[in-house]
């Protein structure tokens, strides 16, 4: 089983009134310059204990994995990790994503199975 890394540009948080509750979500747009097809090393990248992640959730009061986004806290350090630990066939893809994240602070990733 593999995972999909999906790059998204995040916007503002929207709150919609419901019956007795508010539903929150972050506006987002898929970042089509990144191929989200499963690639060798993606699972290692996402679950590495050596990479420190920042997280954002649609509703910060109810964080959950499926409605969350992440980006590395230290992109340069993460790029070095990629060079050491990811198969050659996937290094350029992840490095380009990290470079794009450096240029765009609103670029985050979500994870899907």
Asked whether residue 9 carries a pLDDT value surpassing 90, the answer given is: yes
Tokens of 61: 């009061």
pLDDT, mean of residues 82-86: 98
For 101-110, the pLDDT digits (tens) are: 999 999 999 9
Which residues, 6+ apart, have CB-to-CB distance to 79 below 8 Å? 95, 98, 99
Q: What is the pTM of this model?
A: 0.88
**Closest to 50 measured CA to CA, from 4, 71, 81, 93:** 81
pLDDT, mean of residues 79-92: 97
| Band of pLDDT at residue 1, cut at 50, 70 and 90 | low
């Amino acid at each position: 089983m593999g995972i999909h890394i999906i790059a998204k540009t995040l916007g503002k948080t929207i709150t919609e009134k419901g019956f007795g509750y508010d539903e929150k979500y972050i506006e987002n747009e898929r970042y089509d310059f990144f191929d989200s097809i499963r690639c060798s090393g993606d699972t290692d990248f996402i679950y590495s204990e050596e990479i420190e992640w920042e997280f954002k959730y649609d509703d910060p009061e109810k964080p959950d994995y499926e409605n969350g986004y992440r980006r590395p806290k230290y992109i340069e350090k993460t790029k070095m990790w990629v060079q050491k630990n990811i198969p050659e066939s996937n290094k350029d893809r992840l490095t380009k994503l990290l470079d794009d994240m450096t240029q765009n602070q609103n670029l985050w990733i979500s994870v899907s199975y």
